[in-house]
Amino acid sequence: MKNRILYYILSVIFILYGCSPMDYKYSDFIKDGPITYLTRLDESEVKGIGGRNRVRIVIPELDDPRASKVEIYWFNKREHLVEPIDPSKETNIYINDLVEATYIFELSITDAKGNSSIPVAITATSYGEIWESLLQNRLASSRERDGEKMIITYGVNVDQRLLGTEFEWKQDGVETALTAFIDSAETTGYLENFKASSFRYRSVYLPEPDSEDLFHSSWEYYLEVPDASEIEFDKATVTFTLPRPNDGFWSGYVFSWTDKVTGETKSQATDTNSITLNDYNGLAVTCRGVYEFDGVTVFSDGVELSTVRYVDLDRSNWYAAPETRISDSSPLNNNSEAQVVEKNKSPHLSHPLFYAASGTDAKITPWAHFDGNENTYLSIVKGFGKTYLDNRARTGVSHSYGGVSSDGNDLYFIIDFGEEESFNYFRLVYRSGQSNGNLKPRQVSFFGSNDPDCITDMDKWSVIEENLYLPGSELPSNSSDPNHPGRSTGNVTIPESSYRFLMLRYDEWTEASNSVAIAEFYLGLYY
């Protein structure tokens, strides 16, 4: 009976519960009506375009006329922006003062009643100084001046962000800088009416196709190097006079040098085209042009200017081997060795002369090496082996020609200047027309004396420098270019000395060929 009563009670409870409204649990949440959503933005049509420390968000024309505002969240919703929109038009919204980064922006549309669309997310990048600092100037393959035009050549551009390169220069008579722009699509561009000696340039970039902000690489500079041929030098006052460039950016010249005594680096500048160096004690200076570009000082590459004055000694009073006996005491034509009749050795020579010359001017004379004629040669038969030590020991290949040999003695010639002379360099001109260096001496030694007895007494000589390598001695000397390194040693410095007599000893030669031959020999003083 008790179980039946309990059953009835439970039945009544379930009936009462089942008759309650089905939405009684959530009716409080929809008391104002159902939720209304605006048309969702199409993220494929919403653009985020990067700029300089900003982003431009472009919202297209909307199909939903209820839209009145757009809400934008970024930085994990810590930043928020609400902007009005006109759904019938495209809307551009600028988010400024952004640090350089790539951002995720969450956008939703709202109406006047507060209804909103389902949010969408887009990405956009803000560019700034760091990105700009990495931009490179377009690399020119060549720059060539053609009159008053500068021709600049590039390779094909592959960077789609590059718009082109802009140029600035100044010249006399122009108040403001002249400009030019070479488009990135061009491989050859021109700076017209270019009379200056410098220009600056930088490339222009657009980070994204629809960006509104331009970015630039750093300025770089083209500076012409001072033309050494146009620089005048007054050694007495150590004064340089240079051309004044037709350039509004030019501000002067700077000279630098190394003190030859202390080794200290010194410099001096001028804002004119002339300068006198103070307390100068160097051998050469380096000259650079100085330019000022909006407070930026730029220096051109330098041109080295020697301040050493090389002065060759007067050779007109020199004497060499005057006692050498040649048939009828006359110079001999170089057409037969038999013309050397008497092979009497002069004290001025290590052994009798052997002819060496070619051409109609060729003569055998004891002074052929300082007669001013490079077609005549002083030729001495080589000794044993290929060094003076080999020759003394009479070891190695023996050399002789036309009955002339060294007989194991040193190979040398002596010059009498007539009076004591000071010198600190020499220059030796090799016999020309050689396809190899077999006729050239390779090393020499210098000795000096003021005692006339030195001609016959080898103990009267003082060493100036020994075993000196001769530049260009291993090169052919058959080049038509008189400046070819195989034609001459150039000016070679030796310790400064003052002597009346000079002896040059040949220390090394090749075993090939029978003689060593030189066309001209010079001494001089540089200071």
| pLDDT at residue 447, rounded to an integer | 98
Going by pLDDT thresholds of 50, 70 and 90, the confidence category of residue 164 is: very high
- Single out the residue of 175, 185, 274, 194 nearest to residue 232, CA to CA: 274
What pLDDT is attached to residue 433?
Answer: 83
pTM above 0.85, yes or no: no
Measure Cα distances from 3 to 9, 10, 11, 103, 382 in Å: 10, 11, 12, 70, 147
Q: What is the pLDDT of residue 39?
A: 83
> Strands 411-430 and 492-508, how do they pair?
antiparallel
Question: How many C-beta neighbours within 10 Å does residue 172 have?
Answer: 11
Give the rounded percent of residues in the chain with a pLDDT score beyond 90: 68
Confidence band (pLDDT; 50, 70, 90) for 290? Answer: very high
Which of 339-346's residues contact partners 24+ apart within 8 Å by CB, and which partners? 339/364, 340/364, 340/402, 340/403, 340/404, 343/403, 343/404, 346/321, 346/322
User: What is the identity of the amino acid at 269?
Assistant: A
Tokens 């006729």 belong to: 439
Which sign, positive or negative, has the C-alpha torsion 129, 134, 138, 139? Answer: positive
DSSP structure class, residue 455: G
Using the predicted structure, report yes or no on whether residue 35 has a pLDDT greater than 50. yes
| Higher pLDDT pick, 139 / 431 | 139
Given a cut of 80, whether residue 438 has pLDDT beyond it is yes
Answer for the pair 427, 522: CB distance below 8 angstroms, yes or no: yes
- The predicted-structure confidence for 254-278, as pLDDT tens digits, reads as follows 999 999 889 999 999 999 999 999 9
Give the model confidence (pLDDT) of 321-371 as tens digits: 654 444 444 444 444 443 344 455 677 888 766 554 444 444 556 778 898
Rg, Å, the chain Cα set: 46
List CB contacts of 317: < 8 A, sequence separation 6 or more: 417, 418, 419
Residues 280-295 have a mean pLDDT of 95
Task: Return d(Cα 234, Cα 25) in angstroms, integer.
Answer: 109
Contact by Cβ (8 Å): 351, 383: no
Span 24-42, average pLDDT: 60
Alpha helices in 19-116 (DSSP H): none
Average the pLDDT over 218-233 and give the result. Answer: 96
Output the DSSP codes for 370-424.
GSS-TTB-EEEE--STTBHHHHHHT-S---EETTEE-TTPPEEEEEEEEEEEEEE
Residue 329 — φ and ψ, nearest 5°?
Answer: 60, 25
CA distance 322 to 346: 7
Closest CA to 514 of 433, 388, 406, 428: 406
Mean pLDDT is lowest, of 22-31, 74-83, 241-250, 500-509, for: 22-31
pLDDT mean over 246-252: 95
Torsional class of 83: left (φ above 0), alpha (ψ -120 to 50), beta (otherwise): beta
Please name each of the domains of the chain with its CATH number.
47-128 (2.60.40.10), 135-223 (2.60.40.10), 228-308 (2.60.40), 327-526 (2.60.120.260)
Cα–Cα distance list, 161 to 9, 20, 54, 206 (Å): 83, 70, 18, 5
What does the alpha-carbon distance between residue 481 and residue 489 come to, in Å, rounded to a whole number?
14
DSSP secondary structure letters along 3-46: HHHHHHHHHHHHHHHHTS-TTTTTGGGGTT-S---BPPP-TTT-
Tokens, residue 473: 């001695």
How remote is the C-alpha of 474 from its chain's centroid? 30
How far is 118 from 73, CA to CA, in rounded Å?
13
For 349, which DSSP code? B
Give the DSSP letter of residue 116.
B
Residue found by looking up tokens 């887009």 in the block: 122
Residue 441 pLDDT more than 70? Answer: yes
Beta-strand relationship, 47-51 and 54-59:
antiparallel
Residues 430 and 518: beta-carbon distance below 8 Å: yes
